[in-house]
Structure 1
């Protein structure tokens, strides 16, 4: 039995304890115990069992769910139901003076209120489960569709990036926001492949992808774009922040001590990167065209510096 959720519900257990203690203490204070001959033990056992079961339901709700609105509503509904059951159970052992018979009159009121609250909570729980099931189906579909992931790097594929880029364009147009896209190119990757082979080239791509992922934020999306190029989508990100992120990635990759085979000698790689900011006015083909043109200009500038 997994009890990890219980630590999030300590305040609810405290409330339940206060409610039960208050009811038992108050009824014992104003009531008088019935003579043993007047007790209906069979009836008491039945009502006591129902009272106990509501506590069991509360316990299992709290060990099964994280803290949140639905959990709180379920707790409230079950607790109110438990109050009615508890008062009904106590009635089997106590008799109240004429001026306190109102307790017997109102003891059934908390239960229907609690059931209304529980019904609403169960509806919200149903909606919650429908959302989770939809997400699980989507995740399963994505994993089955191998075209959405790149076998070598483990990143999402260019096809998946295309879909997400189109979605981001739509969101930017609706909310009048902007987003940034980064393109990363491993410099002289063809020479590396010719010198060390495609297998080592694939390993280099995979390790480079891991370095990129380690430098990204949770909301960023990295994909393998083509061959030795990676593309990164950064929602609602300014050009200044994305350029800072690009510089950090370049620095991290430049310090990646890649070792070919069993060699102890490190081969340090360098990448070229470019970043552009977009809104909802460009389609994804235009965005990719602009990025590729910017990358060509960036690489030409870097090559000119190398020659100089």
Structure 2
């Protein structure tokens, strides 16, 4: 059982123990103990059980709720009810002289006052719960909607992209309109992470995602496909037309002057980009597999070209 809230209610605990002590001390000082033959043990059991249960309720309130107005009202209502029940319970064992008979007359008064306060407290508790539920629904909608996006880059997730590729394949097969997939790979991103740390790597990925988004159309869809790899879906687009977007993205990323922290020296990232046209006859798995194969082939060609230049 989590009792972490109890430390915030030390003042209420002080009031509780003081009140119980004062009631018990006052009644036994003013009254005399009845002979045991006059004890009604059945009534004592019932009234003592109700007194104990109100104390249990107070305990649950104090360990399960933070400090605040509603908690204070719940506590106040329950402690007033407890006073009446405690006085009823003590009456089974104590008899009061004539000059202290007022205790018997007023012992039932705290209970109805406590019930009124409890009713007000429960209403406000209900309002509080409605507010919390509304916040939870908004949070749930936020996470449900944003489960489709990558937390780091803000682009769509690979899971969402795969669903959209399925829809696009069906659409292209039906309309005979091709679409193009573009894959972008950041070169030596692992080395960047090792040198500058994953936090800076996440910032770099977010900025690259923004650059990609700025260089595609509203109907196009960009996602972070893997740690250092991005995929762009270009509906109703041929490879020839997609080359224009590829050129803009390559040039924009080549001129992305990324600075780590307060370092004035800019880091320029190199990328590998490839694109391929599809007509709807493939599956979503085949589309992504073919794109990965083309990326591997493009990277090998770039490495061969680089090695020839170095030689």
Report the TM range for the smaller structure's normalisation. 0.5 to 0.7
Give the superposition deviation at 1:226. Answer: 2.6
Aligned 8 A contact 1:211 1:253 in 2: no
Deviations 1:168-191 (A, max 9, x none): xxxxxxxxxxxxxxxxxxxxxxxx
Tell me the residue number matched to 1:63: 63
Tell me the residue number matched to 1:13: 13
Give the 3-state SS of the residue equivalent to 1:48 in structure 2: helix
Give the 3-state SS of the residue equivalent to 2:261 in structure 1: helix
Distance 1:79 1:8 in 2: 18
Structure 1 pair 75/251, CA: closer, same or farther in 2 (3 Å)? farther
Which 5+ residue runs of structure 1 have no aligned equivalent? 158-192, 213-221, 231-249, 257-266, 271-308
Tell me the residue number matched to 1:207: 199
Distance 1:251 1:198 in 2: 15
Tell me the residue number matched to 1:107: 107
Is 1:196 aligned with 2:180? no
Matched positions, count: 196
Give the superposition deviation at 1:142. Answer: 1.3
Structure 1 pair 226/210, CA: closer, same or farther in 2 (3 Å)? closer
Which 5+ residue runs of structure 2 have no aligned equivalent? 157-183, 215-257, 269-311
Q: After superposition, where does 1:151-170 map in structure 2 within 5 Å?
A: 151=150, 153=152
TM-score by length of 1: 0.55
Distance 2:207 2:96 in 1: 73
Tell me the residue number matched to 2:144: 144
TM-score by length of 2: 0.54
Is 1:85 aligned with 2:85? yes
Q: After superposition, where does 1:1-308 map in structure 2 within 5 Å?
A: 1-146=1-146, 150-151=149-150, 153=152, 196=187, 207-208=199-200, 226-227=210-211, 253-255=261-263, 269=267
Distance 1:255 1:71 in 2: 52
Q: Calculate the aligned-residue CA RMSD, in Å.
A: 3.7
Deviations 1:228-260 (A, max 9, x none): 799xxxxxxxxxxxxxxxxxxx9862449xxxx
Distance 1:19 1:84 in 2: 12
Aligned 8 A contact 1:70 1:124 in 2: yes
Tell me the residue number matched to 2:295: none
Moved more, 61-70 or 138-147: 138-147
Distance 2:210 2:3 in 1: 47
Deviations 1:62-94 (A, max 9, x none): 111011111111000000000000011011111
